[in-house]
Structure 1
Amino acid sequence: MVKLSDIGNHSRNIHLSADGESRSALMARFDLAALDSLEAEISLKPEAAGIVATGRFTASLAQYCVASDEPVPAQLDEPIHIRFVPEPVVGGEIEIELDADDCDTMFQEGQSIDLGEAVAQSLGLALDPYPRSPNAEAVLKAAGVKSEDEVAPTGALSGLKDLLAKK
């Protein structure tokens, strides 16, 4: 947690490194086989619309293969661009104008911002939703699952491939 008073009107650079307890909690949260390291370099800059956090995070991890349940190692190096804004008052509404190139928005927690949670959410978004080990195809084939090449189109779309090939 970073207090807003510690940021003031100046930019501030922060280095975060997840300890063993935090990595274990993130492994459980994201169903990871391993999380050997998670580090972030973040610059906090006050703006009229809130505090903007920009930087990068790196992670060395392993996810479970969706087919074989084997660990699939991964190295992540991803950008972070998040705007922290005050949480709206109860019953009130907050309107935030975003365009396609804008950054993600998170709410401040009182007079602080939770950079650890911001990095954790960024990690969750960067994970491969369907990690596959090199053995995945063999495991699926042994289980009787047909590959996309083996499945023949049926029904109303069966002639579409041939029709498109003629063009």
Structure 2
Amino acid sequence: MNGTPEFSRPYRIDTIGEEPRGVHIEADAAERAALATRFGLVSIDSLSADATIRRDGTRIRAEGKLSGRAVQSCVATGDPIKARVDEHFSLRFDPEGEAADEELELDAGDLDVLPYEGGAIDLGEAVAQGFSLALDPFPRVADADQRLHAAGVIAEEEAERLRAETSPFAALKGLTKG
């Protein structure tokens, strides 16, 4: 992506101390509309985060919770589906190039490591990306399968069964059972 991110909330490194500092960020209507376009969503109704940030040498740690509401499109029918995200996050921002210099072994509960360049981190962009990743990548309305079947679209399992029954080998198999 070129230019400034849609939901940019930079924090200069020299203003972040070693003691945790609470911050609240919230996307306005224009930012949410731009993010919805980037992420291929119908809309984003809300997006915010409450976090504590603190400096640890040249690294910045951010922990908190992101919350948001969006409307996605069903991958099968195109119908709108409401989605809600309430996720805790734990991030570490490392100076560009520093994170690649050391080997990290991350467990599922470990923090995500993001690079930053210059003298600031962008908590808004990190929250926006976290929000996008927390959404269901393949949202489906509850009755999608029934509606697709009624429209003549068959399920993959049914297609496999039909292919097996109508293959030339199935016909040969029937001849040998005589």
Give the TM-score band, short-chain normalised.
0.7 to 0.9
TM-score of the superposed pair, with normalisation by structure 2: 0.77
Post-superposition Cα deviations, 1:117-155, rounded to whole Å, max 9, x if no partner, equal 100110111010110113412331133222366456549
Shift of 1:94: 2.0
Structure 1 residue 8 and structure 2 residue 10: aligned? Answer: no
Structure 1 residue 146 and structure 2 residue 157: aligned? Answer: no
In 1: Cα distance, 2:130 partner to 2:69 partner:
14
SS in 1 for 2:148: helix
Gaps of 5+ in 1: 156-167
SS in 1 for 2:137: coil
- Is 1:60–1:76's contact at 8 Å kept on the other side of the alignment? yes
Shift of 1:78: 0.7
Which of 10, 29, 50 in structure 1 is aligned with 2:38?
29
In 2: Cα distance, 1:135 partner to 1:53 partner:
40
Q: Which amino acid aligns with 1:13?
A: G
- Is 1:67–1:139's contact at 8 Å kept on the other side of the alignment? no
How many pairs align?
A: 152
Q: Which amino acid aligns with 2:106?
A: D
In 1: Cα distance, 2:24 partner to 2:66 partner:
10
SS in 2 for 1:137: helix
Q: Which amino acid aligns with 1:79?
A: H
- Is 2:44–2:70's contact at 8 Å kept on the other side of the alignment? yes
Which of 127, 131, 136 in structure 1 is aligned with 2:139?
131
In 2: Cα distance, 1:31 partner to 1:97 partner:
32
Show structure 1 runs of 4+ deviating over 3 A.
147-155
- Is 2:72–2:82's contact at 8 Å kept on the other side of the alignment? yes
Structure 1 residue 111 and structure 2 residue 111: aligned? Answer: no
Identity among equivalent positions (%) equals 39
- Is 1:61–1:75's contact at 8 Å kept on the other side of the alignment? yes
Question: What's the counterpart of residue 159 of structure 1?
Answer: none
Shift of 1:30: 0.8
SS in 1 for 2:126: helix
TM-score of the superposed pair, with normalisation by structure 1: 0.82
The residue correspondences of 1:15-164 to structure 2 (distance < 5 A) are: 15-48=24-57, 50-88=59-97, 94-100=101-107, 101-147=109-155, 150=158, 153=161, 154=164
Shift of 1:107: 1.0
Gaps of 5+ in 2: 1-9, 166-178
Shift of 1:33: 1.0
Q: CA RMSD in A?
A: 2.1
